[in-house]
């Protein structure tokens, strides 16, 4: 949530101020002393295609592990290896960091101060409780040092609080969410000034645009349908006990105890037809790749559907998934691709 609020999307600056708005660009250009493009950028999946075409030659990656999280992992890894420069800034040596030319050690959450924003738009201040390990530094400090080394101006922030004060000036929805106010309580945006109490419920009386907007859509089925060769559908999601690629959660013993390895859920009728019993090692295969894990025979999945999570590098489920994008949201089809399943002998 916080990354998106701060402009971590290809079409907006902070607070969802659009890059195509000339007045918005002028405001940021005046504050930062640089000329800004009005062109909408690329989403993450589109970046990989641009790398493959040779249009992107360097990537600075912060806190992401696309070698496990991107669809069609073979393609993602191939693209990263094409780069002239890959910089990974993270708290651990991830699978992606092993592809990097430069690894910058970042401080973990409890080792740094700054704000965190949750999905109810609540901004909260966090103070460090332990000292960063080794050479690890806060993300903002690392970015500022790199920028200054490259000759950029305006990166002389003494602290995370000073960065938030700039956000207050340039981001209307964060205008009243100051470091001082956050020392006593969290605040929900929009919070335009220091007298404002924050907004607990959005659109309580009216929509921002006035009336609601209804957008008719036409159903579009999955890009890949099951067939005779690949008769099942694979769908993926997170486990209750792990987050994304497991970079952090797989280092927590209590969570590993609850979910130590990947499982592939399969309906009892499909399992019987394929000669698969509970806890058998099985292989799921798509047109792009394969992954092995133990079977969990369960009626929690429908017939002709298999399910798994993508947290485990030993069972890289996203090696199978389809990189086909939603035409509007540009999100890959993680939730449906055609596969076949076999019992490992």
pLDDT in tens, 90-109: 999 999 999 999 999 999 99
pLDDT attached to residue 163:
98
Give the β-pairing of 332-333 and 322-325.
Answer: antiparallel
Segments in 127-280 forming alpha helices (H): 139-149, 160-170, 179-182, 253-258, 268-274
CB 63 within 8 A of CB 105: no
Q: Spell out the domain ranges in the chain.
A: 2-188, 232-343
The model's pTM: 0.90
The pLDDT score that the predictor gives to residue 206 is 85
Given CATH 3.20.20.210, say whether it is the number of domain 2-188.
Answer: no
The ranges of the chain with pLDDT < 70 are none
Instruction: At 70, list the tokens.
Output: 């991107």
The count of C-alpha atoms lying within 13 angstroms of the C-alpha of 305, restricted to the half-sphere facing its C-beta, is 12
Query: At the top level of CATH, which class does the domain 232-343 belong to?
Result: mainly beta
User: Residue 131's pLDDT is what?
Assistant: 95
Q: Residue 12: helix, strand or coil by DSSP?
A: strand
pLDDT at 253: 97
* Cis bond before residue 27 (omega within 30° of 0): no
Provide the pLDDT for residue 215. Answer: 86
pLDDT score at 233: 98
């Amino acid at each position: 949530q916080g990354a998106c609020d701060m402009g971590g999307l290809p079409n907006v600056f902070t607070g969802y101020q659009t890059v195509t708005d000339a007045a918005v660009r002028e405001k940021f250009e005046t504050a930062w002393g640089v000329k800004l493009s009005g062109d909408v950028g690329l989403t993450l999946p589109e970046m990989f295609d641009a790398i493959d075409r040779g249009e992107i030659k360097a990537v600075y990656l912060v806190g992401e592990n696309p070698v496990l999280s991107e669809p069609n992992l073979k393609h993602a890894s191939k693209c990263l290896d094409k780069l002239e420069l890959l910089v990974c800034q993270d708290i651990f040596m991830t699978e992606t960091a092993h592809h990097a030319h430069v690894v910058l050690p970042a401080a973990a959450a409890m080792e740094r101060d700054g704000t965190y924003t949750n999905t109810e738009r609540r901004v909260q201040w966090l103070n460090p409780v332990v000292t960063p390990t080794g050479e690890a530094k806060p993300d903002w400090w690392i970015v500022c040092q790199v920028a200054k080394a490259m000759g950029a101006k305006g990166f002389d922030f003494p602290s995370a609080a000073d960065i938030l004060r700039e956000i207050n000036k340039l981001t209307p929805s964060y205008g009243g969410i100051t470091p001082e106010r956050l020392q006593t309580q969290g605040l929900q945006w929009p919070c335009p000034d220091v007298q404002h109490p924050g907004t607990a419920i959005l659109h309580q009386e009216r929509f921002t645009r006035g009336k609601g907007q209804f957008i008719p859509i036409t159903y579009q089925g999955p890009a890949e349908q099951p067939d005779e060769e690949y008769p099942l559908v694979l769908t993926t999601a997170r486990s209750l006990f792990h987050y994304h690629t497991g970079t952090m959660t797989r280092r927590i013993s209590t969570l590993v105890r609850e979910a130590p390895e990947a499982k592939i859920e399969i309906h009892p009728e499909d399992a019987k037809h394929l000669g698969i019993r509970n806890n058998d090692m099985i292989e799921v295969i798509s047109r792009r790749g394969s992954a092995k894990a133990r079977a969990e025979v369960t009626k929690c999945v429908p017939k002709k559907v298999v399910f798994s999570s993508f947290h485990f590098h030993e069972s890289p489920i996203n090696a199978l998934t389809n990189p086909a994008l939603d035409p509007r949201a540009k999100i890959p089809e993680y939730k449906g691709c055609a596969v076949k399943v076999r019992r490992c002998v």
